[in-house]
Amino acid sequence: MDVLISAAELADRFSDVRLLDVRWTVMQPDGRPAYLEGHLPGAVFVDLDADLADHSAAGRGRHPLPTPDAFQTSARRWGLNGGDSVVVYDDWNGQAASRAWWLLRAAGVSDVRILDGGWAAWQRFGGRIATGAVVAEPGDVTITSLDGLASVDINEVAVQSKWGDIRILDARASARYRGDEEPLDPRAGHIPGAVSAPTAENINADGTFRIPAELRERFNALGAGEGPVTVYCGSGVTATHQIAALAVAGYAATLYPGSWSEWSSDPERPVATGPDPI
């Protein structure tokens, strides 16, 4: 699976791809003002909260997956047609763009790449920049399911946690995994049996992904080579970055979309604290 594209490679293919700008961070969820100030020419803005989540789905975490119908509506509004090649990017080291990458791959769009290093890498490359909004001609892409990539619900994760036959990776910062702090969700700690695997360790200082050999070494040390892997984070956003990094390393992984925001909201679910899985 080809996951990444460099700024130089994108410049050579510029006329052949659809560009999606996914500016979003936890602290700055509205990325539209930054997009309007400057973006890759032709890039359509994607609102992560509106387009890549279904906030009407109560009790399933802070960013439940959208329905296939809703996601199709969004993708057509972005101008996507069947067979299109798509490049997604953000200004957060790929952590928001990976959510769009995961959903599009899950929806059956076969050629989706993350711009390695995102907006910053494009600027370092000296690529052309446009301002203002881009309104695409409506596309015709058909999305009937989000089953193209694996995902699990809270009950399936509970079974995995109990029996330990699947490696569960927690992509949040180490302090949140240990339970030292919890700025967003009801309880602090981690799913029992999960291993701490902060997303920040997937990238270099410039925000690009580490090379495949380094990522394989990282994930092998976390047990990814020993069997199936499930990944969660706070709300199912940055976990997709972990899944992208695993794919770069040559491993497939399953997403738990509800993630810690769903698990910690259920008082019946056990919580572990400290640096160890259990």
Question: Both tokens of residue 114?
Answer: 């993350």
Question: For residues 83-103, b (16+ Cβ closer than 10 Å) or e, as one string?
Answer: ebebbbbbbbbbbbbbbbbbb
Whole-number average pLDDT of the chain: 97
pLDDT of 88 reads: 98
| Interatomic CA distance for residues 198 and 195, integer angstroms | 10
Is the model's pLDDT at 169 over the cut of 80?
yes
Domains of the chain: 4-125 (3.40.250.10), 154-263 (3.40.250.10)
How many other CB atoms sit within 10 Å of the CB of residue 27? 5
Is the model's pLDDT at 178 over the cut of 90?
yes
| Interatomic CA distance for residues 96 and 77, integer angstroms | 19
Q: How confident is the model at residue 134 (pLDDT cuts 50, 70, 90)?
A: very high
Q: Do the beta carbons of residue 152 and residue 125 sit within 8 Å?
A: no
Question: For residues 200-221, b (16+ Cβ closer than 10 Å) or e, as one string?
Answer: ebbbeeebbbbeeeebbebbee
pLDDT of 58 reads: 85
Is the model's pLDDT at 1 over the cut of 80?
no
Q: Tell me the percentage of the chain whose pLDDT exceeds 70.
A: 100
Is the model's pLDDT at 96 over the cut of 80?
yes
pLDDT of 22 reads: 98
Length of the chain: 278
Is the model's pLDDT at 164 over the cut of 90?
no
Is the model's pLDDT at 84 over the cut of 90?
yes
Q: How confident is the model at residue 5 (pLDDT cuts 50, 70, 90)?
A: very high
The residue with greater pLDDT, 165 or 35, is: 35
Q: How confident is the model at residue 70 (pLDDT cuts 50, 70, 90)?
A: very high
pLDDT of 66 reads: 98
Q: Mean pLDDT, to the nearest integer, of 14-35?
A: 96
Q: Mean pLDDT, to the nearest integer, of 88-106?
A: 98
Q: How confident is the model at residue 165 (pLDDT cuts 50, 70, 90)?
A: confident
Question: Both tokens of residue 208?
Answer: 């690009």
Q: What residues are labeled active site?
A: 233
Q: Mean pLDDT, to the nearest integer, of 198-207?
A: 98
